Amino acid sequence: MTPFGGADLHFHSTVSDGVESPAELVRRAVAAGLSVAALTDHDAVHGVPAFLSAAAGTGLVAAGGAELSVEDGGEDVHLLGLFLDPEEPALIERLVWFRQVRDLRGEAMVGRLAQLGVVLDLPAIRATVGAGAFGRPHVARALVAGGFVQSVGEAFDRYLATGRPAFVPKAKWGLAEAIAAVRRAGGLAVLAHPVWYRDPDELLRRGRDLGLDGVEAFHPDNAGREEDFLEKAATLGLLVTAGSDFHTPAQPERTLGVRRLSEPLWERVAEAATERRREAGRAALDLSPR
């Protein structure tokens, strides 16, 4: 029997702000020796079918979900909706609306840059986005390609970060709304990279009371805090997940598989995910190797 290679349950493709296609991510996951991989694009699930199809014959347990952008008390919070049904009608309707609004947001950012004398080709950026979700990384990469900045980081620092001249706020979910949407679609609601937040302990407590299922204890940014989040998960009765948050090979510290869930922890997640699908009355979840 092949040894368990770990589970990476958080990474991104070209369907949102990643630079590799869902099919390319399957190849990367297999090369990394992962046993389980779940594609979680930002506010998007329409890359999941291609990801599952590309995994056929690889032996990978391939799954999907989404990373939802949430506003909670003035704070930007990210919620992973893992193993949800990508065909749940209410979820699809809401995500389509978000993509439309974010396309207008992207147009507004390009417009603000033009007012600063930084002219980008909006149709070309939209062509790059394709059917994905238009976000700041797309504008940042266009700024680099146009020679206006040297790096994506500089693009954010000079133009796109909160408070910078081309920043435009993003439409977001409410926390209770997002958790309810994930559960209705038969998924597990998991707080991503908890170290990002002002008071992660309080956020986890409130989230648990709203139906939060788990916390991403293992994430590159959680270094030095992972044991803390494992203890908090045990105290609150939450599941534990792991994810690399891979977007691009240009960030080697977030290469696919750099954070992996062990087999015992994965088995708990898989059991809960299977039961959630059943409770929600959605299509049964297939977690067999492809």
pLDDT of residue 239: 98
Q: Which helix (H) or strand (E) holds 77?
A: strand 75-82
157, part of any domain: no
> Residue 190's domain spans which residues?
7-94+171-280
Phi-psi region of 197 (alpha: psi -120 to 50; beta: other; left: phi over 0): beta
* Per-residue model confidence (pLDDT) at position 28: 98
Residue 86 lies in a domain: yes
Residue 130, pLDDT score: 81
User: Does 104 fall in a domain?
Assistant: no
Q: Is 164 within a domain?
A: no
- The predicted structure's pLDDT at residue 2: 81
Beta strand 188-191 with 75-82 is antiparallel
Residue 201: predicted pLDDT = 96
Q: Kindly state whether residue 203 falls inside one of the protein's structural domains.
A: yes
What does the pLDDT read at residue 129? 85
CATH number of the domain within which 274 lies: 3.20.20.140
Predicted pLDDT of residue 113: 97
For residue 260, being part of any structural domain is answered with: yes
Residue 121 resides in a domain = no
Q: What is the pTM of this model?
A: 0.89
CB neighbours (10 Å) of residue 269?
A: 25
Whole-number pLDDT of residue 131:
76
201 located within any domain: yes
Mean pLDDT, 10 residues at a time, the chain of 290 residues? 93 93 98 98 94 97 96 95 96 92 94 96 91 87 95 95 93 95 98 97 98 98 96 98 96 96 98 98 95
Is there a contact between 158 and 138 (Cβ–Cβ < 8 Å)? no
Q: What is the pLDDT of residue 171?
A: 87
How many folded domains does the chain comprise? Answer: 1
Determine the pLDDT at residue 133: 78
* Whole-number Cα distances in Å, 82 to 44, 66, 189: 12, 7, 7
Residue 146: DSSP 8-state? T
pLDDT for the residue 117: 96
What's residue 128's pLDDT?
86
Question: Which tokens sit at 23?
Answer: 């099919």
